[in-house]
Structure 1
Amino acid sequence: MKKIFNWTNVRLIMMLCLVIFLFSFTIKRNEKRKLSKIDVVFIGKNNPFIKAETVDKLLIENMNNRLAIQKDKLDLNKLERILDSNAMIDESDVFVSIDGVLKVVVKQKTPVARVVDESESFYIDYKGSKMPLSDNFTARVPLVSGNVTSENKEKLAQLFRLIYEDEFLKKTSLEYKLCLILA
């Protein structure tokens, strides 16, 4: 008859108990940890149409007492939806690092043309949607004058995407100040 009580089995059971204890201890400890700071990072080669302070302000408005909130009580999907609803932001990614830093990675929209109308002025972004002018930066893009309708907006977006992607056309349009006048 074999011995059930051998030291190998005892050591394995003790190590398993130790791992379970440490895992539960770290989970409890991590749940009580609060955010230490907010870090906003912009990706892409665009100049800042929106400042990090503006992104931080959007987050402050939607979080009560932002640095006193616990990490597990934070709704990251809601914060991403709020940031993505901003007219200057193409997409964002919000996550919390191990050390309690709320990291916000922001990709801004890329303007390809500026429309000057009788009543308003705005950019057309790379995807063809409307993008408001920024107080922080003015993009050097071709100018469109006239009435942009929903019918011709997609065709204009295609044309200006083509110009934006081609280095020669891009430099030429900016150097000679390409201006398209719509009737």
Structure 2
Amino acid sequence: MEFKKFLKYLLFVVIVIGLGFLYSFSSARNLQKKIGEPVIEFSQGDNNFLTHSMVNKLLIQNEETIKNKAKSKVNLYGLENRVLKNPYVESAAVFLTVDGQLKTIIKQRTPVARIIEKNDSYYIDKQGVKVPLSANYSARVLLISGIQNDAQIKEILPLVSFILKDNFLQKEIVGIDKSDVNEYQFAVRSGDYKIDFGNLTEVDIKFKKLKAFYNKAFDDKTIQNYKAINLKYHNQVVCTK
């Protein structure tokens, strides 16, 4: 009986060693497996700013393409960081699949406005991150002038967010101009008149006044009679013809 137990124990040890050897051999072969053509996916929307070929260039390692490299030679962390440094990329994941494909999933930044300065122009996303203009794509977004620094970008973001969340305002307001005294004026789609919004206090109340005025002005077709609509005064809309 003791001898049978010994044989069973010995057989168990041999099986464990054999499985360990097979696993090590398989892992070694897997690490030496060559990588095929990289697979690139763009999540949550179209690849407006970046193309597949542009991402492929970001995946170049030591001036060599990733294709046909051994899996063990690929620095996934370094590749992911390289992709994330691109100003059009909001998030990225670079990983190897079981069958040896290098896969990259990218979420691009979504511009919400275009800042126009005297000597520069760029987009900002919903976090206020600056996004350079692109030769591949021109986004139809709010045009904002009068912004001079990052603090002013942060200040105007809640106003931009409010406009974009409202279906009517998003279609109607096409431009925002900030004055030197921190007051804002809107350019609109429905006419050549301007909307004097004032400072960024009571934002929701001012927009409610504007919508109420619009309901009447569009209904009686008098909207084109005005050159300016002023929302700065409490409980009233003052119009200039």
Q: Is the 8 A contact 1:115 1:144 kept in 2?
A: yes
Equivalences for 1:1-183 in 2 at 5 Å?
Answer: 2-6=1-5, 8-45=8-45, 47-60=47-60, 62-164=62-164, 166=165, 169=166, 171-183=167-179
Q: Is the 8 A contact 2:147 2:153 kept in 1?
A: no
Number of aligned pairs?
Answer: 178
C-alpha separation in 1, matches of 2:62 and 2:154: 34
Query: Which residue identity lines up with residue 48 of structure 1 in the other structure?
Result: N
Q: Compute the displacement of 1:46 (Å).
A: 5.0
The alignment yields a C-alpha RMSD, in angstroms, of 2.0
TM score, norm. by length of structure 2 = 0.67
The list of structure 1 runs, each at least 4 consecutive aligned residues, that deviate by more than 6 angstroms after superposition, is: none
Q: Is the 8 A contact 2:61 2:79 kept in 1?
A: no
C-alpha separation in 2, matches of 1:47 and 1:160: 23
C-alpha separation in 1, matches of 2:134 and 2:101: 28
C-alpha separation in 2, matches of 1:62 and 1:10: 50
User: Taking every aligned residue pair, what percent have the same amino acid on both sides?
Assistant: 30
Tell me which of the two structures has the higher relative contact order, counting C-alpha pairs closer than 8 angstroms and 6 or more residues apart: 1
In structure 2, the gaps of 5 or more residues are 180-241
Shift in CA distance, 65/133, structure 1 to aligned 2, threshold 3 Å = closer
Q: Compute the displacement of 1:47 (Å).
A: 4.8
Q: Is the 8 A contact 1:142 1:179 kept in 2?
A: yes
C-alpha separation in 2, matches of 1:88 and 1:65: 22
TM-superposition CA deviations, 1:104-133 (whole Å, max 9, x none): 111111211111222121111111111111
Q: Compute the displacement of 1:134 (Å).
A: 2.0
Q: Compute the displacement of 1:48 (Å).
A: 2.0
TM-superposition CA deviations, 1:64-93 (whole Å, max 9, x none): 242232111111111111111111001111
TM score, norm. by length of structure 1 = 0.86
